Amino acid sequence: MLTSNSIPHEERLIFALDVADTERARQWVLQLGDSVHFYKLGLELFMAGGYFELLDWLIAQRKKVFVDLKFFDIPATVQAAVRRLSQCGASFCTVHGNQAIMEAAAQAKGNLKILAVTVLTSLDRGDLDDLGFECDVEQLVLSRARRALEAGCDGVVASGLEVARLREFIDHRLLVVTPGIRPVENRPEDDQKRAVTVEQAFQNGADYIVVGRPIRKAPDPRTAADNIQRSIAAIFSA
């Protein structure tokens, strides 16, 4: 079931700028041009320096920005961080943690949309066993989504494998951002264990997809991004 949330189809693709430095990130943005309108900035770039200068530059380029730093600290600290970030022009940011942390973030968000992380797409049943979770992945995702909704978050980050049940459980009251997108079956060395294709993610009800390596490692990255955009346009115009 496609999402009923109204979003320009060209913004549904979020490109993960998981590169070593901000100069390389700028090169990617210029190379991809108008094939990508939304960018995710994660921890690797944060540690490289110049993170917020890059954010400002992206906004000046009329791009949307997803700050994926997965805030997880005492509620007052997370709230202060979100309050500062809400003044920077970013569209999304991620938070981890319990009810109090998510509530604190939601109270300070302003126009920033808060996305609660459910279960990382790099984790499988064995990883959850190691972390001490006795419930299955789907139950954990649904529980965290319910808590995110109650806390005032705007959306969740969840694998496309769980999106269909999420839509049954919370309908369209939360945005769903789906990482771990792979155009073909995972290779053994891939760290995304719960991956889906572009079509599967959206048919299951995702609002946005996050794509990194399938574009970065393509022989022609801009063509790869354009192809994904055409697929998205076809899905939502059918």
**Domains along the sequence of the chain with CATH:** 9-237 (3.20.20.70)
pLDDT at site 68? 96
Residues of the chain short of pLDDT 70, as ranges, are 119-137, 183-195
What's the confidence (pLDDT) of residue 224?
96
> Residue holding tokens 């192809």?
227
Q: Quickly tell me which residue has 């066993």 as its tokens.
A: 129
Report pLDDT for 135.
Answer: 56
pLDDT at 137: 66
Nearest to 68 by CA among 196, 198, 228, 179: 179
Decide if 63 is catalytic: no
Q: Which of 40, 63, 70, 217 is catalytic?
A: 70
236's CB contacts (< 8 A; 6+ apart) are: 2, 9, 12, 202
pLDDT in the model for residue 122: 47
Q: What is the pLDDT of residue 118?
A: 81
Q: What is the pLDDT of residue 160?
A: 85
